């Protein structure tokens, strides 16, 4: 009998704007096609529910799917997924051993994004020499920490900020037209920064 676990989707280490529903649906359908890599029904599945309501395979510390053994592989088959995307075993089990070169050479954009996420955005930005575009404080909030707008090696912009109460650092992808940290913050939330901070 197939063992199936379903959990609520947990946010990834990198905090990013919500994925458009059409893109999420596309990735979900792609994941369904990829599951035919091994024949038969999996004997184990670990699933999460995406924001569009779709259940997809996902596990951050082991295989998300397992198949029974056969003559070619008596010990069975395993497949590794992050939020429905099939990824190499190393990305899940040994992300600390990934290299910048491996990430850059990955042709699949979604797999490459996950590799960066697992590698660590802070480490990636440091090791690829990301450029600082702007830096400031959130002056409207007491105890606010520094924040920085950075451009990575793919010319993507990231707002890097620290939560003053928890100390957690967030890496948020923003639009390429952004010039300042304030613009970046307001583009993410859709309100003037003074209003955002007054409500926080």
42 in Cβ contact with 64 (< 8 Å) = no
Q: Residue 153 gets which letter from DSSP?
A: T
Q: Is the pLDDT confidence value at 19 over 70?
A: no
Q: What is the pTM of this model?
A: 0.67
Chain segment 145-191, per-residue pLDDT in tens? 688 999 999 899 999 988 767 778 889 999 999 999 989 988 988 88
Chain segment 108-138, per-residue pLDDT in tens? 999 999 999 999 999 999 999 999 999 987 6
Sign, CA torsion 81/87/88/92: negative
Domain boundaries, given as residue ranges, for the chain: 3-119, 128-199
Strands (E), the chain: 3-8, 44-49, 55-57, 65-67, 77-82, 85-87, 131-137, 146-151, 157-162, 169-174
Confidence at residue 36, expressed as pLDDT on a 0 to 100 scale: 46
Chain segment 37-69, per-residue pLDDT in tens? 565 788 889 999 888 889 999 999 999 999 887
Confidence at residue 162, expressed as pLDDT on a 0 to 100 scale: 81
Confidence at residue 13, expressed as pLDDT on a 0 to 100 scale: 45
């Amino acid at each position: 009998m197939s063992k199936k676990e379903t959990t609520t989707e947990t946010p990834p280490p990198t905090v990013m704007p919500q994925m458009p529903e059409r893109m999420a649906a596309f990735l979900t359908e792609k994941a369904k096609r990829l599951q035919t890599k091994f024949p038969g029904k999996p004997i184990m599945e670990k699933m999460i529910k995406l924001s569009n309501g779709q259940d997809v395979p996902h596990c951050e510390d082991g295989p998300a799917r397992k198949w029974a053994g056969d003559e070619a592989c008596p010990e069975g088959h395993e497949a590794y997924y992050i939020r429905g995307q099939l990824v190499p075993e190393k990305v899940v089990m040994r992300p600390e051993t990934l290299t910048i070169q491996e990430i850059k050479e990955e042709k699949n954009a979604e797999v490459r994004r996950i590799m960066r996420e697992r590698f660590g955005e802070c480490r990636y930005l440091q090791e690829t020499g990301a450029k600082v575009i702007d830096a400031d404080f959130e002056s409207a909030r007491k105890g606010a920490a520094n924040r920085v707008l950075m451009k990575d090696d793919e010319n993507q912009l990231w707002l890097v900020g620290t939560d003053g109460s928890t100390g957690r650092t967030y890496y948020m992808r923003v639009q390429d037209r952004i010039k300042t940290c304030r613009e970046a913050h307001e583009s993410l939330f859709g309100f003037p920064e003074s209003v955002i901070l007054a409500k926080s």
